[in-house]
Chains A and B, each alone.
Chain A
């Protein structure tokens, strides 16, 4: 399957600081990428859909000014958690959609970033 990388894999930051997470599709071009968050023992929660060259679409309840998403190229999307607080501590996972011949697609996930805000 296709490969999606994510950096950093884990980060610890102080409350009030900002953290940037990068997501790259390594062997395919991804016009659409997704950002998810997962709390322990819970399922993935979609935060936003990121489309190359346009503004991200945020899910209900997700603050767009707090979670800044940039998708400036076909292989890179970034998520910046601004003014992070302890309740933002979570596992953040990006995903990229690889379109296949015939109109189908498969979606691959990055390895995730574990954010801890102290």
Chain B
């Protein structure tokens, strides 16, 4: 079983839609979580950090459920520019490194 698992998608949604991605992690000792977005042939860019139960930044909301070991990312009012791969990432203090999910592809169409 992978340490961080995501639905690979793709999620094809129209502009203005609300879309949610879920991510599960296997290491209950994971301390912090992050969502990155990665555009094709580019580096990952930090979208949001999640240290406690959740975080919100504009159209983006992340929720953390430690009991069920999952993190979600909600994108409201999708824009064409939101099309990218979204990477769910867990920080494992024991290994002192980020553990990446394989990513979820989002395609927003007009």
Please list the residues of chain A having a beta carbon within 8 angstroms of any beta carbon in chain B. Answer: 1, 32, 34, 42-44, 46, 49, 91, 93, 104-112, 114
Cβ B46 vs Cβ A43 within 8 A: no
By secondary structure, the A interface counts as: strand
B46: shortest Cβ distance to chain A, in Å? 6
A43→B103 CA distance, assembly (Å): 7
Could you list 14 examples of A-B contacts with CB < 8 Å?
A32-B96, A43-B87, A43-B102, A43-B103, A46-B98, A49-B97, A91-B41, A93-B43, A104-B32, A104-B49, A104-B51, A106-B49, A111-B43, A112-B42
Q: Quick check: is B34 within 8 A (CB to CB) of the other chain?
A: yes
Which of A42, A105, A109, A114 has the most B CB atoms < 10 Å from its CB?
Answer: A109
B21 touches A (CB below 8 Å): no
Instruction: Decide yes or no: A107 and B43 within 8 Å by CB, A43-B87, A43-B103 being known contacts.
Output: no
The 8 closest A-B pairs by CB, nearest first: A109-B43, A43-B102, A112-B43, A109-B44, A43-B100, A111-B43, A44-B100, A93-B43
